[in-house]
Structures are given as C-alpha cells and as structure tokens.
A and B are shown apart, each in its own frame.
Chain A
C-alpha cells in the first residue's frame, strides 16, 4: 500500500492503495466514480478511457503509480453540466443504445477533437477503432463526432 495524491476533474484526491492498482479500479472502487467502465481489463475495448492530461488513456492498464502529477479527467468531469460539445452531440443524435461503452467513446472522441478539431472520416475511424460498441452505434458515433467538430469550429 502507498498513498497517492491525484488531481481528478480538478479536485485533489488522496488514495491509499497498492501501487499496481489500475486507475480504473481506483476510480470505481476507491473513489466511487463509476462512470469509467470496466470492459476487458486488457486495453482492448476502450470502455475505461479517461484523459491523462489531454491524452486518451485506457485506465485499466494505467497503474496509479504511473500517474504522477498529471491531471486526470473522467466522464464525470468532462463538463460541468453534461454540455461538452461531444456530450451535446451524443444527446442530439441519441447515440446510445445500452450506453455502457459510451463514456469511453465520448472520452476518446473528445481527446481526438482536442488534438484534431476537424478530423476526416478516416481519421475518426482510426482514432475510434479501439473503442468497441457491442450494440453497433458506430455510424451514429461518427455523425456525432462530426457534429461536435462543427460545433467546436463555430465557437473557435
């Protein structure tokens, strides 16, 4: 066990856990932030995607000891009122079916748009390929990302 000081969604958090504990379980079990989802445990599905700094990371493969001073953003902190352009686009296009993977999809998509505000279809597919949606909402996700991209370029 060791103590880690983390900055999550702009808030300081302290946890006392095994240093090998993945951020996924620190969030879910220790900090009661269950928006980040467990899907595979081997970084093959993207359900657990969070932001480390501005980068999308699979939290199931990110030991808490590797976080250091980097700020973490989770789905709960992507926006204050669920009004990040990506979240808004998701709601407008009614993207989710079961919804379980969507937190990871949204975190991945928002990181993509941060790095590349106007991605092509191919860039969206490449960036999102690691995020599985078992319900098959891929076509809607792509439309939502393009909608959010248009929204971002308007406000830019």
Chain B
C-alpha cells in the first residue's frame, strides 16, 4: 500500500482521504501552505498548465515540463520532471524539459541546497502531474459522454475500454486546460511507477557534449557591457582610494568606477555576504580587455573597524554576526583552535554522568582532529547578467537561491519584488558557493549605475580570493571503555572559525549512556558559508576516524563495533532528541559489509565509515595501497539509503562524485591565510583531485526502499573522508588527524 506522509517538518500540506481502491485523495491545500502565508487559501492558477506552470501539452501530445529548481549538477532538471511525468502517465520520450524562472506564485522552494530539492519537491511534483492527468481524463469524459472513472491512461493516451474510444493527451489538451483544477487527485501506487526508479539520461546531455549555450557565463545580450570587479586582497581591508588613469586609457575600456554592493540600510538575508561590499568596477567591450585593465588599476586599501552585520535568518528572525577587524592567519587560527579545544565550552548535550563514567573507565582514548578552510572552486567562476532599468530588473545567471537574490535585489535597487525577473541558468557547479548571490547584486548595481545590460565575470583569482569558504574546524574527542571493551562514556568538544561543526544529536549520541557534547566558535572577518554537507563535511570524518580507533582499542571489528552501538540505539536509545534512525543507519553498514566482503580477507589498506546527514544514510568501505607515500584508491564500495531512488544512473553518478570530491578535499583541500590574504588563488596553488587520483573503481549500492526520497547531493561526501583516513591507517600503521591528510608537501600532482 502506498503511504504518503502528510507533513514534513513543520509543514502539513496534504489533506488525505483514503479511497476504496487503496489510493489516496489529495487536497490542494498544500499549494497554499507551501507559500509564505500558510493561512491564505489560493485557488490553483489555471496558468499552471499553460506557459508559466509546471507543464504544457501541445496538440501533438508533446509535453513540456518545467523544472522548478536550480540545476547545479545534481540532476534535478531531469529527475524532478521525471516525477511529474510519472504521475501524468506520459511517455518520457515525448517530454521536453525547460528550466523554470523564479516564480514564487507557482513554485515553492526554488532553491538548490541541503539536498532537499527532491525530498521537498516530491509530493508537489507528483500532484502537479496527477492533477494534469485528471483534467485530461475529465476532458475525455466530457467529450465521450462517459464516466471519468472508466477512463484509464497509458503512456500519454486516454482509453475508454467500454466504448473502445482512445485519444492522445494532445487531442484533449485544449479542453483539459479549460477544466477547473480538481480539488482532489489520486496518486499512483509506488509499485506502479514506470519512470521513477528507472535510469533516464541527463536532459541536457546532448547540449553539454556539443557545447551549446547553457551556463551563466555563456549568456549574452545585444549591447551587453562586460564588467569585472576588484575586491580587497585581504580580509580586514576595505577600499581607500584608486587611480584608474592607466586602466581607463587601455583599449576596449569604457569606464572605471566604484559601487557599494550593499548600502548600510539594505535589508539583507543570510545568503548575503558583505566582506567586500565596496568594489572598483571596470567595464569594457570584452572579457579579455577588462581583465587586463583590471590588472592596471592602482588601488589603496585600508583596515576595517569592528562591526556587526545584521541579516534576516533562514526561516525568519534576525541574525547578528560580529565581524572583528584585523588580519587573520592560519598559524594564529591553529593556535587559537588548539587552545579552545582544551577549554570547557558551551554544553549542548549531556546524558548520564560522563565525568563519573570516565573515572570508572578501564581505558581512555583522547584524540584531536582539524580541518582547514576550503574554497568551493566551482569550475564555472562566479558571474551574472543584469539589465536594470528605471522600472524593472532582469537578472540571469547561476544562482542556487533565486528567491533570496530577488529579495535583496529588490531592497538594494529600490524596485518592488514583482519588477525583478530572475532566470536560472544551468550552473557549472554549486557546492554551496552559489547560495551566496553577492555577484548577482553586484551585476545589478553596476547595470543600474550605467543603465546598460551588464555581464559581470569573476576571474579564477577573484573567485578563489573572494570566497564564502568552508570554515576551519577542530574537534576533540574522548572515549571511555570498560574492561569488556564497551563504550561507557563519550565526549566531543568541537568548534571552528567562525562556527562550530557540532551535531550533538547524531550518532553516537543515543547509543552511549554517558555522553557530553560541547561547542565553541571564534569570530572571524573571513566570509564563510555552506560547503557541500556543511559541518558534516568535517565532523563525519573526525568522528568516524575516532570511532575506528576506539573500536581498535576495544579489540572489536570496526563495523561490528558500530553495529553494536546502533543496536543499543535501536532497542533502548539514550535521550530523546536523537535525530537519526538507527535501524536505517545499521542497514547501510550491513549492506556495505556484505557488498565489500568485509569479513573475508585481511584489512590491510581497508577503511570503513558511515554517516547520516541530509536525511540519508551512507556507508563506505575504501581499499587503497600506498605508493610513494601517496594513497592509490583501488576501490570504494558504497551503500546508500536515500529512500526511493528516482533516477538510478544519475544517483549513482552523484554518489561517485561525492566520493571523488571527498577524497580530494580530505587529501589536498587547503586554503590558508597570511595577513588576511588567501594564499592560494588558482589551480596551480590550490590542489583539486585529478584523474589519476580518483578511485580506480566505485561500486554504489542503494538500499531497496519505498520510503519517500531524501537527499543525495551531500550525504555520500562526508563519510568518505573517514573511510579514507581509516584505510590509510590500515595501510601505514599511522593515524591521520589533520586535513589535508597528506599535509602541505604536495602541491601539484
């Protein structure tokens, strides 16, 4: 039987009535409750089925499905329309997909972040398809004078078995568009799915391999001016003065001027970053000319003063950030973090009596883990197109948070929200970097100032040194074992610059009687933000490396050790706020143990890790050999529980990518600072994983599930770092505590 949850988190958007057939009737109250004013009850707009809605159907039966969410490489432009097509009951071959623009009246949560697009889109997309199908059925029923419930659909056709009548969706499309939106729709049973759960290739595949226009950087407009911005070379600096006389006289240069991306009174949200608000702008006729002129600028910078930056937080409320003045460096960061790691911090969870339990323990293990700042380094550097006129603004480009960009653009430009049009281009990578749309605001402010269409382009150096980085983190762990090797006390004290990575209610919380979690943070003027699996991207590897060492001290197999703890959390959990499902967690560990033949052969060069984040569970077993002091990853076996897998070929690809990315970040990723200045600014100094360093083979296994789908863009990424560190230990006999795991000795491979 199909089970559909009627609420997610704080939202309850479905009214369900069981049908005798075993299906579900769904009311459309979801549409209004997904909006910012849940109390309002809106009629479903007819345009939904026309040009601006989720889908449109042509006379010939061709269907265009709008993909609502931004595409950053996570495959939503294929997999979200697949969900609509499934319920519409159409042949996927007759489906075209278009990227929808930002339209808050029709779509909800047009955001790429938190691995939530499929999870939060699931029911709405299904209903969009099912509603359209039901309207087509009603149109056929009217035309044929037969009861609607006698009409069935199959692959884009309407069929009335009794009379032998049959019509394509296209023949009924115009009549269907006149039919009022049904109050209730029936969703398919999950075991009737024909598209969901089958592999469908990337809808942009052919465009990608033939070099067609897709990305923000490719977008052009007649009369467009190219612009680049110069930002301070170090955090803690701001613009003092500039001399543009050389730059202005260079060929192809139109002008040099300054902008303030955010005015003091601009209403900002959590995705706005103001580290470098005042910028020197160079405009000209081509990217290359502007790039050269920018190098010829003569700019003087001066130190900032301490300030408080105020934002509207995600989900409402005000957020104040303390921004200290001064020039920060990695050496000082490390010293400060080491000091904080030894001091008592803010207790965020305490179960039992950890102090007493540690006193009783037979064995105590204490370890400390650290990780540096990371730059996102999307392959497509930041860029945006803007055309702002007196009465409207058109913004086109790669943005993970179009709704937030629209808000800030409206506030900054002094135009009402409905006068801001945002189109999302396919993105050359996101990883969290394009949640922070300051580059969109910059383009808009430049366009408003010069009254022309503008394309703002960042060089790689701009992109890497004007980042919204993954914070630097530190975690101290302490475990107490009794004589039998049972984990009787666990203590984690974690913090970072400028935020803590602690996840106090995740495993092993709930599995240990005496548990203590403490959290701390150090203010910084370096701009930071979400980076693929925020916080988890450090704490998972630290925790999983530590548990490996604790299991070894307990004399237990590392997988069995974890499973024993999870069994405890299943049968008799400690505390009430545990935010994971221990049975599903254990499930991926059991699956990876089986698929990797863990219990056969020796463990030399093998490492295991598992983690839960973004509502999904992942376990990895990684096999490597050390060659010339460097790990060569021979194989990764991966088990994933993300509920229903919408598009297996893409889900596998995304998981493989998370594994490769995780290995690369853990081994090489390192952004350091000296006198406030990022010391790496391009790929000759910032090391990304390359072909020869990727695993030779990756086997991905999904847990068979009929649970509604959860996230996948992030979950495979964090735990691979633990599996890698543990495998390196099992190959070398040496534990690895600090990322980058290979230290600073390797620059280019």
Our verdict on whether A and B bind, yes or no, reads: yes
| Interface residues of A, Cβ cutoff 8 Å to B | 1, 18, 21-22, 25, 28-30, 32-42, 44-45, 47, 74-76, 78-79, 82, 87, 90-91, 94-103, 106, 121, 124-126, 128-142
Bound CA–CA A41/B379 (angstroms): 12
Q: Which residues from A are CB-within-8-Å of B692?
A: 125-126, 129
| New A-B pairs, 4, CB < 8 Å, besides A28-B287, A102-B208, A136-B664 | A37-B380, A94-B650, A97-B73, A137-B656
Would you call B691 and A36 a contact (CB within 8 A)? no
| Residues B428 and A99 in contact, CB atoms below 8 Å apart | yes
Are A39 and B379 within 8 A (Cβ)? Answer: yes
Q: Tell whether A138 pairs with B218 under 8 Å between CB atoms, given A25-B287, A90-B209, A98-B72.
A: no
Q: Choose among B205, B287, B379, B459 the residue that contacts A98 (Cβ–Cβ < 8 A).
A: B379
In angstroms, how far is the closest chain B Cβ from the Cβ of A67? 15
Q: Which 4 A-B pairs have the closest CB atoms?
A: A35-B211, A136-B660, A100-B428, A98-B73
Contact A96 B205 (CB under 8 A): yes
B75 within 8 A of A: yes
Q: A38-B381, A125-B692, A141-B691 are in contact. Are A94 and B697 (CB under 8 A)?
A: no
Picked from A96, A102, A129, the residue with its CB within 8 Å of the CB of B749 is A129
Q: How large is the interface on B (under 10, 10 to 19, 20 to 34, 35 or more residues)?
A: 35 or more
Tell me the B73-109 residues at the A interface (CB within 8 Å). 73-75
Pairwise interchain contact A135-B251, C-beta atoms closer than 8 A: no
Tell me if A44 and B684 are in contact (CB < 8 A): yes
Residues 199-217 of B, flagged 1 when their CB comes within 8 A of A and 0 if not, give 1011011101111111101
Kindly identify, within residues 653 to 690 of chain B, every residue whose CB is under 8 Å from any CB belonging to chain A. Answer: 653-654, 656-661, 664, 682-684, 688-690
Q: In the bound complex, what is the Cα–Cα distance between A35 and B656 (angstroms)?
A: 25
Q: Are B683 and A1 in contact (CB under 8 A)?
A: no
A sample of 15 cross-chain residue pairs with beta-carbon separation below 8 angstroms, ordered by A number, consists of A37-B215, A41-B459, A44-B683, A94-B202, A95-B653, A96-B208, A98-B73, A98-B380, A103-B208, A103-B211, A130-B690, A136-B656, A138-B660, A139-B697, A141-B691
Closest chain A CB from B654 CB (angstroms): 7
1/0 contact string of B422-458 vs chain A (CB within 8 Å): 0000111111000000000000000000000000010
Q: A40 contacts B682, CB within 8 Å?
A: yes
Q: Which of B211, B286, B381 contacts A74 (CB 8 A)?
A: B211
Q: CB < 8 Å: which of A21, A134, A137 contacts B653?
A: A137
Expressed in whole angstroms, the minimum distance between the Cβ of B458 and any Cβ of chain A is 10
A58–B213 Cα gap in the complex (Å)? 20
Provide the residues of chain A in CB contact with B460, threshold 8 Å.
39-42
Q: Which residues of B contact A124 (CB under 8 A)?
A: 691
Q: Does B389 contact A (CB under 8 A)?
A: no
In-complex Cβ contact of B379 among A36, A74, A100, A138 (8 A):
A100
A114 to B552, CA, bound (A): 51
CA distance A135 to B665 in the complex (A): 12
Q: Least Cβ distance of A127 to chain B in Å?
A: 9
| Residue of B whose beta carbon sits closest to that of A25 | B288
**Given A42-B683, A82-B209, A134-B378, A139–B204 Cβ distance below 8 Å?**
no
Q: How far is the CA of A140 from the CA of B650 in the complex (A)?
A: 12
Known: A30-B286, A37-B428. Is A139-B205 also a contact (CB below 8 A)? Answer: no
A34-B209 in contact (CB<8A) = no
Distance between A37 CB and nearest chain B CB, rounded to angstroms = 7
Question: In chain B between 237 and 291, which residues have their CB closer than 8 angstroms to a CB of chain A?
Answer: 251, 286-289, 291
Cα of A39 to Cα of B378 in the assembled complex, Å: 9
B213: which A residues are within 8 A, CB to CB? 34
B41 CB–A CB distance under 8 Å:
no
* Closest chain A residue to B663, Cβ basis: A136
Contact of A94 among B73, B74, B205, B287 (CB under 8 A): B205
Closest chain-B Cβ to A7's Cβ sits at a distance in Å of: 18
A46 → chain B closest CB, angstroms:
10
B692 to A, closest residue via Cβ: A125
Is there a chain A Cβ closer than 8 Å to B61's Cβ? no
Contact partner of A137 among B209, B291, B427, B657, CB < 8 A?
A: B657
> Are B201 and A97 touching (Cβ within 8 A)?
no
A140 touches B656 (CB 8 A): yes
Residues of B within 8 A of A28 (CB): 218, 287
**Min CB–CB distance B667 → chain A (angstroms):** 13
A114 to chain B, nearest CB (A): 17
Q: A100 contacts B749, CB within 8 Å?
A: no
Contacts known (A38-B381, A100-B380, A132-B690); A94 close to B653, Cβ less than 8 A: yes
- Are A76 and B210 interface neighbours, CB within 8 A? yes
* Cα separation A141 to B208 with both chains bound (whole Å): 14
Closest to A92 in B: B201
A18 to chain B, nearest CB (A): 6
Q: Are B691 and A128 closer than 8 Å at their CB atoms?
A: yes
CB distance from B635 to the nearest CB of A (A): 11
A133 to B289, CA, bound (A): 28
Cβ–Cβ < 8 Å partners of A34 in chain B: 211, 213, 215, 217-218, 220
When distances are taken between beta carbons in the complex, the residues of chain B under 8 Å from A18 are 251, 288-289
Give the residue of B204, B660, B684, B698 whose beta carbon is less than 8 angstroms from that of A42: B684
Interface pair A97/B204, CB less than 8 Å apart: no
Measured CA separation A137–B650 after assembly (Å): 11
Residue of B whose beta carbon sits closest to that of A28: B287
Contacts of A98 in B (CB 8 A): 72-73, 378-380, 426-430
Contact of A136 (CB < 8 Å), options: B72, B377, B659: B659
Partner of B657, one of A40, A90, A97, A126: A97
Q: Residue on A with the closest CB to B713? A: A97
Q: Which residue of B lies closest to A75 (CB)?
A: B211
Q: Which of B215, B426, B688 is in CB contact (< 8 Å) with A132?
A: B688
Q: Which residues of chain A come closer than 8 Å to B653, judged between CB atoms?
A: 94-95, 97, 137, 140
A98 to B459, CA, bound (A): 19
Q: Which of A22, A99, A138 contacts B73 (CB 8 A)?
A: A99
Kindly identify which residue among B208, B211, B214 contacts A36, using a CB–CB cutoff of 8 Å. B211
Is B638 part of the binding interface, using a Cβ–Cβ cutoff of 8 Å? Answer: no
**B426 and A76 contact, CB distance less than 8 A:** no
Q: Is the CB of B209 within 8 A of A47?
A: no
Is B723 among interface residues, defined by CB-CB distance under 8 A?
no
Q: How far is A30 from B287 in the complex, measured between Cα atoms in Å?
A: 10
